[in-house]
Copies of this chain bind each other. A is one copy, B any other.
Amino acid sequence: MTAGDLPKGFRAGAAAANFKKAGRDDLGLVVSEFPCAVAGLFTQNAFRAAPVQVCREILRKGKPVRAVLANAGQANACTGGQGLDNCRTTQRMVAEKTGLAPEEILPLSTGVIGRQLPMDRWAAAVPELVNSLGARDAEGFARAFMTTDAFPKFAARDLDLGSGQVRLTVMAKGAGMICPDMATMLCVALTDAAVERRLWQAMFRRAVNKTFNRVSVDGDTSTNDTILGLANGASGISVGAEADIVLFEEALGEILGDVAYMLVKDGEGASKVIHIRVKGARNDADAELAARSVGHSQLVKTAIYGGDANWGRIVTAVGYSGAAFKPVDVSLALCGIERFSRGQPVNDDREEDLARLLKAVDIHVDITLGDGPGAYMFLASDLGHEYVSLNAEYRS
């Protein structure tokens, strides 16, 4: 199997509905042959897009689902009652052509906020969409919900459990508005293992907290952020034994971590991935405060973009993070070279080495706040001209 292959029992399709640009897939559908246990996590933004509201309704009911329907072009957010009606209409359109029930279809939308879905284009595209089922792989589905993404994001993993092999496939989009807390964009994880719904949700939440919730491009939380997991049991293998649960959750964390890294690497206009590791904090919460503060600092992000070893800006961001520490206990290494030790600059003569090391794509920032047990790891993108260009011109 390749990374593009879906787990057993899933088929994907896509169509060009001309929502934004003509001639490229902007509508995707994945359908399971069998009912799926579903897990989901959603944006914490108070303005929840219509598809987020509909997905949350479905998950609250706790019933099995069969499909995910995703579009680019319009976010269907801040669109009021009409937006919600339109979202339900798209479910019905696909239900009619597939024989599924509307409430078995989870909608996802991404794109411009505040515009209504162009329902005539939906009506025109849905037949082609359903006909294409089986004609796309994970990459094809991932391409269908790309917006400013530079590349489609997907990954897969085969896993040997006690009683046989299962597959996990993850497809995601996101290259901006990626932020702390529910750090997402759109992400769909599929598996042909059978997993009990509550266990699946619990594993999912833990894995997302360790991965997606630790990345940042620009700190903005979208109205549409959604991450869904569908487990259809088509492999005939059940994740229930303690050892299998451990293996499965570990694999889930790894694959979500791979995709989260892709999201930062493809941060809108980003050229580098900043790996921020904080240790020695009083507790994990303080380490997190410091790591997020550095990861969100515009001044740090532009310095890294410019290849400037400006460690003073990193120390400054730690200083205003709200984390508790004594300045004289703080040390910092950039690209493995210590530049600040116990409150004072060191290795001033290593600037040339640093300038060379800062040309890498992956930039490591290691911060020690003291000798406490608290630690945290956070991924952030840099901030360059391409970010400004993309975001100053996104709608037009």
Contacts and interface: CB of A to CB of B under 8 A. Distances in A.
- The residue in A177, A298, A395, A396 that gathers the most chain B C-beta atoms within 10 A of its C-beta is A298
Contact of A298 (B219, B299, B313, B396): B219
A131 interface: no
A288 interface: no
Interface stretch (A204-212, A338-346, A359-367): A338-346
B393 A47 contact: no
Interface string A315-347: 111111000010100100000000110011100
A46 interface: yes
Given A316-B220, A391-B306, A343 B298 contact: no
B393 A312 contact: no
A46 B319 contact: yes
A98 interface: no
B303 A47 contact: no
Contacts of A317: 220
Given A299-B176, A392-B305, A312 B345 contact: no
A296 to B, nearest CB: 8
Nearest to A321: B46
Interface string A277-310: 0000000000000000000111100110111111
Interface string A358-395: 00000000000000000000000001110111011111
Contacts of A313: 113, 220
Contact of A221 (B77, B81, B177, B316): B316
B220 A320 contact: yes
A393 B306 contact: yes
A20 interface: no
Given A306-B392, A393-B308, A325 B46 contact: yes
A223 B393 contact: no
Given A78-B345, A298-B219, A320-B220, A312 B112 contact: yes
A201 interface: no
A392 B308 contact: yes
Contact of A320 (B44, B312, B320): B44
A221 B46 contact: no
B299 A177 contact: yes
A200 interface: no
21 contacts: A46-B325, A77-B316, A78-B340, A79-B344, A79-B345, A81-B344, A113-B310, A114-B311, A114-B312, A218-B297, A218-B298, A220-B297, A220-B299, A302-B391, A303-B392, A303-B394, A305-B392, A306-B391, A306-B392, A309-B395, A385-B388
Given A113-B316, A114-B345, 14 more contacts: A47-B318, A47-B319, A48-B327, A77-B312, A81-B344, A112-B312, A113-B310, A220-B298, A222-B316, A298-B387, A305-B388, A306-B396, A307-B392, A310-B394
